[in-house]
Amino acid sequence: MIIDYIENSARYEVLHPSFKIVFDYLKQIDKAALDGLEDDKAGVKMFAYKGEGKTRAASLETFECHDKNIDIQFCISGSEGFLWKPRANCEQPKGDYNDEKDVRFFNDLPDTYFELQANQFVIFFPEDVHAPMISNSNLDKIVVKVLV
């Protein structure tokens, strides 16, 4: 997992061939155009959540990880909390892996809680189990799925 501000994103562009595409896009995002944003670019899928989105109180409802994708989640405005734990330390799967949606859920308790603020992003690799969208404020964000 990596947490940083968008202005420092060049440090991470070498980690994956698509990261530069993603970060260039996020730096130029037009907040007014977020409604219904869905975009595919060179193995990268982007989705936007505008306004209150589907925020919730801290819960393990979606304590998840992905096998085929790296998640980059970018907070445009508001703040967003996350739960996190390394997959290697998770021992309580919740159902089977869903290949179509590329998601695996866990019932384990998280090791860490953190919050993103405006202009911060987090990168979740397949080894990062996470629960997003924990917020009591209006939240504008973009989620990017990058094929491993």
CA end-to-end span of the chain, whole Å?
14
Tell me which amino acid residue 17 is.
P
For residues 89 and 23, what is the distance between their CA atoms, to the nearest angstrom?
30
Say whether pTM exceeds 0.75. yes
DSSP string, the chain: -EEEEGGGGGGGGGGSTTHHHHHHHHHT--GGG-TT-EEEETTEEEEEE-TTTT-BSS-STT-EE-SSEEEEEEEEESEEEEEEEEGGG---B-S--BTTTTBEEB-PPPSEEEEEETTEEEEE-TTEEEEEEE-SS--EEEEEEEE-
Contact by Cβ (8 Å): 122, 1: yes
The 10s digit of each residue's pLDDT in 76-115 is 888 899 999 999 999 999 999 999 999 999 999 999 999 9
Domain count within the chain: 1
What percent of the chain clears pLDDT 70, i.e. is strictly above it? 80
Quick one: pLDDT at residue 144? 87
The 10s digit of each residue's pLDDT in 35-52 is 555 555 556 777 666 655
The domain that holds 54 is classified in CATH as 2.60.120.370
Q: Which domain holds residue 92?
A: 2-28+37-147
